[in-house]
A = this chain, B = another copy of it.
Amino acid sequence: MAYMIQVDFKMNGPFGDEMADAFSDLAKSINEEEGFVWKIWTENAETNEAGGIYLFESKESAEKYLDMHRKRLEGFGIPEVNGKIFGINTKLTEINKGPIKS
């Protein structure tokens, strides 16, 4: 069963194209993570926040990734991370065309 991760944290940039250049190798590596389906990279240059919305194939793979990602962000100098894992209500999500098929 698929699970979501939502992550956000304070970051003073880079955003936009500069962020894409800085993190494209990291993005490619995320495609190789166990159970990974997709990620939407989020950013807000006005509030100095960034993060991601992820779909994983299972709760276990989502938990494993979030643990690793928290440590990675701490290594980037970002100790405070809002990170939550959620199950998905499939019936309601199907009504609203949510892209949860892997």
Q: Contact check, A27 vs B95: say whether CB atoms are below 8 A apart.
A: yes
- Within 8 Å of chain B (Cβ to Cβ): is A19? yes
A4-B91 contact in complex given A43-B86, A98-B38, A98-B40, C-beta closer than 8 Å:
no
CA distance A17 to B19 in the complex (A): 40
**Most interface-central of A8, A36, A50, A99 (chain B CB within 10 A):** A99
Q: Residues of B contacting A58 with CB < 8 Å?
A: none
Closest to A53 in B: B53
Is the C-beta of A35 less than 8 angstroms from some C-beta in chain B? no
Jot down 17 A-B pairs with beta carbons below 8 A, ordered by A. Answer: A4-B40, A6-B8, A15-B89, A27-B92, A27-B96, A31-B97, A36-B96, A38-B99, A40-B93, A40-B96, A41-B96, A42-B87, A42-B88, A43-B89, A44-B87, A50-B86, A99-B99
